[in-house]
Amino acid sequence: MAVVTYRDALTQALREELQRDDRVFLMGEEVAQYNGAYKVSKGLLDEFGPMRIVDTPITELGFAGIGVGAAMVGLRPIVEFMTWNFALLAIDQVVNAAAKMLYMSGGQYKMPMVFRGPNGAALQLSAQHSQAWESWLAHIPGLKVLTPGTPADAKGLLKSAIRDDNPVVFLEGEMLYNTKGEVPDGEHIVPIGVAEVKREGSDCSIITHGKMVLVAMKVADELAKEGITLDVVDLRTIRPMDVEAIAASVQKTNRAVVVEEGWELCGVGAQVVDFIQRECFDDLDAPVIRVHQEDVPMPYAKNLERLAKPDAAKTLAAVKKVLYLD
Amino acid sequence: MSTGAKRAPERKSKNEPEKDGAANGENPAANADDTETQAPMRDTTGTDAELRKELLRSMLVQRRFEERCAEAYALGKIGGFCHLYIGQEAISTGVMSMLRPDDYVITAYRDHGQALARGVSPRAIMAELFGKSDGCSGGKGGSMHLFDKATNFLGGHGIVGGHIPIAAGVAFAIKYRRRNQVCVCFFGEAAVNIGAFHETLNMASLWDLPAIFIIENNRYGMGTSISRSTANEDVVVRAKGYRMIGESVDGQDVFAVRECMARATERARKEKRPTLIEMRTYRFMGHSMSDAVNGTYRTKDELEENMKRDPILLLHNLIHEAGELTEGELHKIDDDAKAVAQDAWDFADASPEPAAEELYTDILVDTTS
Ligand SMILES: Cc1ncc(C[n+]2csc(CCOP(=O)(O)OP(=O)(O)O)c2C)c(N)n1
């Protein structure tokens, strides 16, 4: 197994799928000549040419719609948003067009396409550039929503996304591109809709996804020193959600902390907690606690930004609380 | 038929000071604007009597079908939003008559006429409007979302302007596969103020996409007249900003529509260039079923004046005056159109409601590739 960055894992997935199926093309701002704003598409223009690696004007709504139209007649577009913050300009195409086309056409027009790009906060990019969109997007029937947290999942899930005949929203962690991890050699596919227990433990479950998986692992390392073991469930896919994996973990540990990057109200964690209270009510030894961004737009100042974000310290405190150790 | 019927819908003020016609100096038809609107209908697209009869039949089917839609709506057989196309039929018929079966058509929510003209089954359309399982979208789309893969009818779409980039995407796919089909996209004049319109025109021109964008200028977006919504009412000049050919034609004249489409399809197939076409028309009914026919925003006089140029009457009179069909033959076409509408109604009435299990189908497919 090779150790590669999250970025290179994504590039591998793109390259392999572009080679595998000539209906697949990549479209977005700066994806071709510039090699991608985050260099995820590095080298692809040279290999596949300008008809398949397509630089667009700054026109998110327009090119997202071009992707939808191309998918309607059988191509397999990958639409890259420079970041998901800018995808708001295209949300009509994602929500009103891609997600609905199959249903409102009575099953005649499927949408084999991927909308992808970086999601969530990086460092000091402040309010408009530091947002996690998964709870918004996961709300929509007709979409699949993926949030890989590791290089292996990034590669395996992106390949599944490109092969899927449905519109897939693929949320990459903006802070994850440089992280490294082992990626299996050769064909590596991760199924959509299947969570993974990233760390086995028995004292408390952490249910999380995306970038916060790394935070959860850090907390698990920390608490292991105190003899507390955590079961870290990485959802990997938000829609459809692997509720069996959540139930299995909570039934084992009887306690849970749900960690996400986004805001609290109507967040992904709210859905997870709802599921736990319905399906695992008798298993619980403590109320479930959620960790999330503070209910404020992301501030710029370093100290304030740190206060606003969910992090290892907040997660650790939450775990101690559900273990009644605080 | 009054003599006033030979006049095109009047354009109010033309803000554009230039005298070089509607859009692009390269386009000869654009200059012909003023004279053309005064001229009687004249075919330059080589129709013969048989085809003229077929054009009339196509328009009459739409008209009679939609008259029954209004009736069905009043009876509660059709629900939701229902936007009638009555008055604009020369556009759908003229455009579709110039397309090949493998071309693509995409449109907005005012889609019954276009679907019929494209050849979607009247039965399947009416069943869709009635919310029945035999509807062309399985009863899941309704009036605004007619889809039919067999005729490359890519839908009725409900977000103003939202389908314009989708049309460019279809054209992109045509180019990607090196085919010589075209994608025709219909929308109202109010949609030219939507960002998606501008984003799409730019890319369609930049990338040489074989798309034909048709503005059906019926002069009102719901109750807002073009003069109250649009800084420059000469909407087709917008083509110029995107280095695209723009043309403006009398949309009540099926031959003018065909002639312009002949140029646009040729341009798309041979030169791989998109075209923006304004087709000037008028909606004879309210915006949707909840809007009174003349409403608060237009006068009865204006409506009646425009109804003199009913596109069906214009073609009917032309055929009649040329002595191509007898009064009896003309009646028969109309009776046949009524029979099509009745048959569609009966079929839709008899069609079962979608099964409850259908609620959860067609959300996702379980295939991969
Ligand atoms: C983005 C959006 N805004 C508002 C509406 C509500 N709406 C439906 S039709 C319409 C008027 C559109 O007029 P036009 O594009 O000229 O087409 P016409 O109805 O005349 O065929 C409006 C405002 C909508 N469907 N979508």
Whole-number Å distance between alpha carbons of A149 and A215: 10
pLDDT tens figures, B272-321: 999 999 999 999 999 999 998 888 999 999 999 999 999 999 999 999 99
ω into residue B311 within 30 of 0, thus cis?
A: no
3-state secondary structure of A168: strand
Q: Name the residue with higher pLDDT: A118 or B9.
A: A118
Q: How far apart are CA A10 and CA A39, in angstroms?
A: 10
Question: What residue spans define the domains of chain A?
Answer: 2-183, 196-322
Contact A102 B154 (CB under 8 A): no
Question: Using a 6 Å cutoff on CB, does residue B222 contact ligand 1?
Answer: yes
Q: Is A237 an interface residue toward B (CB < 8 Å)? A: no
| CB–CB contacts below 8 A, A to B | 154
Please count the helices (runs of H) and the strands (runs of E) in chain A.
12, 14
Is the per-residue pLDDT at A217 higher than 90?
Answer: yes
CA of B190 to the centre of ligand 1 (A): 7
pLDDT of residue B20: 38
Establish if A112 touches chain B: CB-CB under 8 angstroms.
Answer: yes
Domains A2-183 and A196-322 share a fold: yes
A85 in reach of chain B (CB within 8 A) = no
How high is the pLDDT of residue B40? 76
Assign domain A2-183 to a CATH class. Answer: alpha beta
Give the SS3 label for residue A206: strand
| Among A51-60, A191-200, B5-14, the least confident range | B5-14
Which residues touch A272 (CB under 8 Å, ≥6 apart)? A207, A235, A241, A246, A258
Using alpha carbons, select from A6, A1, A3, A4 the residue that is nearest to residue A157.
A6
Residue B69 Cα distances to A228, B28, B143, B286, B317, angstroms = 69, 40, 10, 13, 26
Q: Is the pLDDT of residue B25 over 70?
A: no
Can you name the CATH fold of A196-322? Rossmann fold (3.40.50)
Residue among A113, A195, A186 nearest A155 (CA): A186
Average pLDDT over residues B221-249: 97
pLDDT of B7 higher than 70: no
Probe target for ligand 1 pocket from B82, B85, B92, B160, with the most ligand atoms within 8 Å of CB: B160
The closest of A122, A170, A120 to A144, measured between CA atoms, is: A170
Q: How far apart are CA A7 and CA A116, in angstroms?
A: 13
Residue nearest to atom 14 of ligand 1 (CA): B188
Does the beta carbon of B163 lie inside 6 Å of ligand 1?
no
Q: Which atom of ligand 1 is nearest to the CA of B191?
A: 15
Q: What is the mean pLDDT of chain B?
A: 91
Taking the C-alpha atoms of residue A50 and residue B200, their distance in angstroms, rounded to an integer, is: 19
Residue B139 in contact with residue B90, Cβ under 8 Å? no
CB B24 within 8 A of CB B297: no
Q: B159–A92: do the CB atoms touch at under 8 Å?
A: yes
Averaged pLDDT for residues B204-226: 98
Partners of residue A128 on adjacent β-strands: none
Summarised one tens digit per residue, pLDDT across range B54-88 is: 999 999 999 999 999 999 999 999 999 999 999 99
With cut-offs at 50, 70 and 90, classify the pLDDT of residue B39: low
Q: Is B223 in the pocket of ligand 1 (CB under 6 A)?
A: no
The helix or strand, by DSSP H or E, that contains position A153, with its residue range, turns out to be helix A151-163
Distance A92 CA to ligand 1 centre (A): 15
**Mean pLDDT, rounded, for A2-9:** 98
Contact B182, B174 (CB under 8 A): yes
Q: Give A207 to chain B, closest Cα distance, Å.
A: 26
pTM for the model: 0.93
- Report pLDDT for B295: 82
How far is the C-alpha of A50 from the C-alpha of A170, rounded, in Å?
23
Contacting residues of A for B154, CB less than 8 Å apart = 69, 72-73, 109
Among A76, A96, A108, most B C-beta atoms within 10 A, so best to mutate, is: A108
Angle subtended by helix axes B122-129 and B49-74, to nearest 10: 20
State the amino acid at position B127 in one-letter form. Answer: A
Among A residues 140-169, those touching chain B with beta carbons less than 8 Å apart: 141-142, 144, 160, 163-166
Return the residue matching tokens 């034909």. Answer: B212
Beta strands in B202-242 (DSSP E): 211-217, 220-221, 224-225
What's the confidence (pLDDT) of residue B45?
Answer: 86
- Model confidence band, residue B43 (pLDDT cutoffs 50, 70, 90): confident
Residues A253-268 have a mean pLDDT of 98
Chain-chain contact of B149 with A109 (C-beta, under 8 angstroms): yes
A119 touches chain B (CB under 8 A): no
Q: List active site positions of A.
A: 60, 129
pLDDT band, very low/low/confident/very high, at B109 (cuts 50, 70, 90): very high
The confidence score (pLDDT) of residue B293 equals 87
A111 pLDDT higher than 60: yes
**Widest Cα–Cα separation across chain B:** 61
pLDDT(B22) > 50 = no
Residue A194 alpha carbon to ligand 1 centre in Å: 42
Pick among 3.40.50.2300, 1.10.3720.10, 3.40.50.970, 3.40.190.10: CATH of B48-156+210-228+274-347: 3.40.50.970
Among A286, A281, A292, which Cα is nearest to A322's? A286
Q: Could you tell me which residues come within 8 angstroms of residue B59 by beta carbon, excluding any fewer than 6 positions away?
A: B89, B90, B93, B254, B311, B312, B315
User: Is residue B37 over pLDDT 90?
Assistant: no
Tell me whether residues B368 and A21 touch, CB distance under 8 A: no
Examine the pLDDT at B3 and tell me if it is beyond 60: no
Which pLDDT score, from 0 to 100, does residue B220 have?
97
Beta partners for residue B214, in sequence order: B186, B277
Q: Is A199 helix (H, G, I), strand (E, B) or coil?
A: strand
What residue's CA is closest to ligand 1, atom 12? B221
Rounded Cα distance between B338 and B61, Å, is: 7
Backbone angles phi, psi at A47, to 5 degrees: -80, -35
Q: Is the pLDDT of residue A322 over 90?
A: yes
* CB atoms inside a 10 Å sphere around CB B250: 26
- Does position A80 have pLDDT exceeding 90, yes or no? yes
Q: What percent of chain B has pLDDT over 70?
A: 89
Work out the pLDDT band at B46, boundaries 50, 70, 90. Answer: confident
* Mean pLDDT in residue range A29-48: 97
